Amino acid sequence: MSNARSMTLDWDDVKVAKEWLSKSPCWEDGKVVSQYETEFARWNGSKYAFAFMAARVGLSACIYALDLQPEDEVILPAYTCVVVPNALEWAGVKTVYCDIELDTYGLDVTQIESKITPKTRAILLQHLYGVVCRDYQAIIDLAKRHGLKVIEDCAHSTGAEYKGRKVGNFGDVAVYSSEKTKMFNTIQGGVAVTNDDQLGKRLREYSEQAPYPDQALVERQLNNIPLEFYQFKHPQSWWLGDAYYIFHGSQVIFTTSNQEKQGIRPDKYGRKMPAPIAALGLNQLKKLDYYIQCRRQNSKIWELWCQENGYKKPVVVDDAVSAYLRYPVLVEPEIKQQVQWWGFKKFNVSVGDWFTNNIYLSPKQIKGFKNADIAVKQCINFPTLNQTCKFPDS
């Protein structure tokens, strides 16, 4: 289990990408996108689904659907990625941070009520690392008592389940990611869902108003499929990856721009998904259950390691089935400080240090959140897929 990204890519994805590179006149074929949205909604158990070029754009669509206005307040975890507060702040919404719990790294329900004001309109909860958040039901119940909407950030947790349903179906709206480090991979991509008819209508309005990305970006994204495959998934990536990168490395897509890291809205933000990326999504979707099972099986390796070495395992709440994008564990701060070297020396794998700041990828610092600060200093994450995990007949 050597890397954190592109482990769900197979030869069939490379084939899909190459086929679509030769069909540029069809890149704005809405039928393919509708097929993907319909299939994702069916697979996820949601009534409506709309596909965008990133989950952060899906979040912007959800903000629009909920009719959040400037100066409205949304409560969100003080342990999240910069793209989440960006989407809120670019809509003029005030972000109100709240501490997390350290069982699953989700919002701590006991800390939320003190953050609610007359301007609070919604709570944004997250299922981080593919682990269903500990206070899921309690947060839903609290929101209902206060008349607040719930946005579910499922970017890490596509396929995780609670009470027999996929996460994302208990709040009002939810977003999922198919970015190259996530549960399934279209290099960049995201889906927004809802089960509410009025919110579904609003999401559709946002989607219909959103432009497609320019052809140069679509072409580059398609070229990133073989680039990522040869670099990370191919069984001989140790030499083919370098060789392929020499000729095609200039095509690499960095999914969070420097502008976004600084909180600046990029000019080409807000694009909906075109047909070639939706075709990749359809191909990935048919393999998603298989790869989730691989992740769950591999997570048992790290669970056993925790048991044998005295580390706390992430909590799986009653009626939950986690998906395990990664396997998060709190370790000594000195281990996290050298986690890459430590991981290769001890396990010969790349162990992640995601969230070296409360707001991942942001230079901004937010202080005063005890558990979030502990997670920043001590939470590492183990990989749950490797090159040997290969979808049959792909």
Give the up-direction half-sphere exposure of residue 99: CA atoms within 13 A in the CB hemisphere: 15
In whole angstroms, give the CA distance from residue 17 to residue 11: 10
Rounded distance between C-alpha atoms, residue 75 and residue 64, angstroms: 17
Measure the CA dihedral 16/296/303/326, to 10°.
Answer: 40
Cα dist. 241→125, 273, 350, 386, 389 in Å?
37, 28, 17, 15, 18
The closest of 142, 175, 145 to 54, measured between CA atoms, is 175
Cα–Cα distance measured from residue 126 to residue 151, given in angstroms and rounded to the nearest whole number = 9
Does residue 155 sit in helix, strand or coil?
A: coil
User: 275-309 and 11-21 are packed helices; what angle lies between their axes, rounded to 10 degrees?
Assistant: 160
State the Cα torsion 48-86-273-202 to the nearest 10°.
30
Q: 190 is written with which tokens?
A: 């995201």
Is 263 in contact with 82 (CB distance < 8 Å)? yes
β-pair partners for 330: 379
Cα–Cα distance between 126 and 377 in angstroms, integer? 20
Q: Report the distance separating Cα 174 and Cα 89, nearest Å.
A: 18
Residue type, 160: A
Instruction: Please name the amino acid found at residue 387.
Output: Q
Tokens for 217, please give them: 């970006």
- CA gap 169, 44 in Å, rounded: 8
Measure the CA–CA gap between 21 and 376, rounded to whole angstroms: 41
Asked whether the beta carbons of 77 and 97 are under 8 A apart, the reply is yes
Q: Coil, strand, or helix at residue 56?
A: helix
Positions marked catalytic: 182
